[in-house]
């Protein structure tokens, strides 16, 4: 197992030099990063096509464009975020001034997944750079073309003592985790997230864990069914369902279930055509292992739409499963593929109880025109984030921190959240020397009486 201690020491020395603390330096790096991404845009699209069969539209929408917007937003606000901010002082601290100083942690380790192999490596990197850290990126070995290109892009434009890419398999991740870094940012599965947290605990290293879970999508009886069907089909089947916030399963009110399923089939056809596999534009499953896992779910319940799959191309077309119960295998873990199980409900409270009996999901989606129903679900179910009358779209907003809760994750990022997650907030009280309040000292006459006056 390779030792990465020398690389981490180089980065720690570079961080100690203070160069990354200069806000103008950070702005220059973000400008360069944006230029590098735009310069390699076509290569990125080609690599994503080779690794996952992503169309150029999907590649730009979900991997490139979203990052360019994140950089633009960060650069617009960075100088303000990086400034010490004044906060109130208490009455007992009269004469003093209180400030919070954001400061970088040092060397950040970013472990990225395979489903959005470029976006989910660079998005946290933007936050690490903005906050003033050095960074080591570990991309996924399951998307080798994108990982190799990412390595080339970073090594050609940034010194390794500042930003470095380390390619390799799980053993490489283990070797990196054995080293002492100052922050760990991981995106991936719940089981691996537990391994990351255990490794971090040995050095009490702070972590952000962006995980997953079974994210429910609820279609109430008063929903706009046609629009709901289109937005659910888009959110579920984009990237062949290999999205951590994709609707994992549907709960549809029994009164509108049949009508909704008709609209859902029409929406799938509109978005992906008659033969999504043959079209050549539908994202494939990342590996034979994941394909085989997903193919087993196709025997659960009844296939009401889709179901065709080809191991030769690692393709599974958009599929809808009916007659599903919580006992089916497809309902035991996050699906992470283009298979959508459908449950039905009559009683809202009972349905909420069935959702809350499971681990807290990363996302939740509600389709209803009723504010009472919206509020009941929002106040009853704990989840990372989500949408009302839409799916997935919340993660594109730089104003909405994105992250999980409970088993679906720890910490949140995007926009200012990315700056915050890679910053320690150092609290400072500046005390006056013009006078000294005597009540703080036990030798003062009637000290306790005076202390009680200030602290009631």
Where are the extended beta strands (E) located within 211-296?
216-219, 249-253
What CA–CA distance (Å, rounded) separates 353 from 332?
Answer: 17
For 222, residues 6+ apart whose C-beta sits below 8 A from its C-beta are 368, 369, 370, 373
* pLDDT at residue 442, rounded to an integer: 80
298 CB-contact burial (10 Å; exposed 0-12 / middle 13-18 / buried 19+) = middle
Among 179, 244, 263, 334, the active-site one is 244
- Render pLDDT for 87-117 as a digit per residue (tens, 0 to 9): 998 877 888 999 999 999 999 999 999 999 9
What CA–CA distance (Å, rounded) separates 240 from 277?
Answer: 11
Are residues 161 and 36 in contact, defined by beta-carbon separation less than 8 angstroms?
no
Q: Give the fold, CATH level 3, of 5-211+406-428.
A: Aldehyde Dehydrogenase; Chain A, domain 1 (3.40.605)
Among 63, 70, 179, 210, the active-site one is 210
Compute, in degrees rounded to 10, the torsion defined by CA atoms 349, 351, 356, 361. Answer: -130
* pLDDT at residue 1, rounded to an integer: 53
Low-confidence ranges of the chain (pLDDT < 70): 1, 450-451, 454-456
Where are the extended beta strands (E) located within 163-240?
163-165, 183-187, 207-210, 216-219
Are residues 284 and 52 in contact, defined by beta-carbon separation less than 8 angstroms?
yes
* pTM of the predicted structure, to 2 decimals: 0.95
The two three-digit tokens of residue 249, written as one number: 């399963």
What CA–CA distance (Å, rounded) separates 132 from 56?
Answer: 33
Q: Where are the domains of the chain?
A: 5-211+406-428, 216-401
Q: Give the fold, CATH level 3, of 216-401.
A: Aldehyde Dehydrogenase; Chain A, domain 2 (3.40.309)
**Is 217 considered catalytic here?**
no
* pLDDT at residue 454, rounded to an integer: 67
**Is 210 considered catalytic here?**
yes
């Amino acid at each position: 197992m390779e030792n990465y201690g020398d690389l981490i020491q180089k980065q720690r020395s570079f961080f100690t030099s203070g160069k990354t603390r200069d806000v103008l330096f950070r702005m220059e790096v973000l400008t360069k990063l944006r230029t590098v991404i735009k310069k390699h845009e076509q290569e990125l699209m080609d690599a994503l096509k080779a690794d996952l069969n992503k169309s150029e539209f999907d590649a730009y929408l979900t991997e490139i464009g979203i990052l360019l917007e994140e950089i633009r937003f960060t650069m617009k606000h960075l100088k303000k975020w990086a400034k010490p901010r004044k906060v109130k002082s208490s009455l007992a601290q009269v004469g003093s001034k209180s400030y919070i100083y954001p400061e970088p942690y040092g060397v950040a380790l970013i472990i990225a997944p395979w489903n959005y192999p470029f976006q989910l490596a660079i998005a946290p990197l933007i936050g690490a750079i903005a906050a003033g850290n050095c960074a080591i990126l570990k991309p996924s070995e399951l998307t080798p073309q994108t990982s190799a290109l990412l390595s080339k892009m970073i090594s050609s434009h940034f010194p390794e003592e500042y930003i470095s890419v380390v390619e390799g398999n799980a053993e490489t991740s283990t070797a990196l985790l054995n080293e002492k870094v100052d922050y760990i940012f991981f995106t991936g599965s719940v089981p691996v997230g537990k391994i990351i947290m255990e490794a971090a605990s040995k050095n009490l290293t702070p972590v952000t864990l962006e995980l997953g879970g079974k994210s429910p999508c609820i279609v109430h009886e008063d929903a706009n069914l046609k629009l709901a069907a289109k937005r659910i089909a888009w959110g579920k089947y984009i990237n062949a369902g290999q999205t951590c916030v994709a609707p994992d399963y549907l709960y549809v009110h029994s009164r509108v279930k049949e009508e909704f399923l008709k609209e859902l089939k029409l929406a799938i056809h509109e978005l992906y055509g008659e033969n999504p596999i043959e079209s050549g534009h539908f994202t494939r499953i990342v590996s034979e292992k994941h394909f085989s896992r997903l193919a087993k779910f196709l025997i659960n319940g009844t296939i009401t739409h889709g179901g065709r799959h080809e191991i030769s191309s690692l393709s599974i077309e958009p599929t809808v499963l009916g007659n599903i119960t919580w006992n089916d295998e497809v309902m035991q873990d996050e699906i992470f593929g283009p298979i959508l199980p459908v449950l039905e409900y009559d009683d809202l409270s009972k349905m909420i109880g069935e959702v809350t009996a499971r681990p807290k999901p990363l996302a939740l989606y509600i389709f209803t025109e009723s504010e009472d129903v919206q509020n009941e679900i929002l106040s009853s179910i704990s989840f990372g984030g989500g949408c009302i009358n839409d799916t997935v779209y919340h993660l594109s907003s730089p104003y909405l921190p994105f992250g999980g809760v409970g088993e679906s994750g720890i910490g949140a990022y995007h926009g200012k959240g990315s700056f915050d997650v890679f910053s320690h907030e150092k609290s400072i009280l500046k005390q006056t020397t013009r006078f000294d309040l005597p009540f703080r000292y036990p030798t003062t006459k009637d000290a306790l009486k005076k202390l009680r006056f200030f602290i009631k």
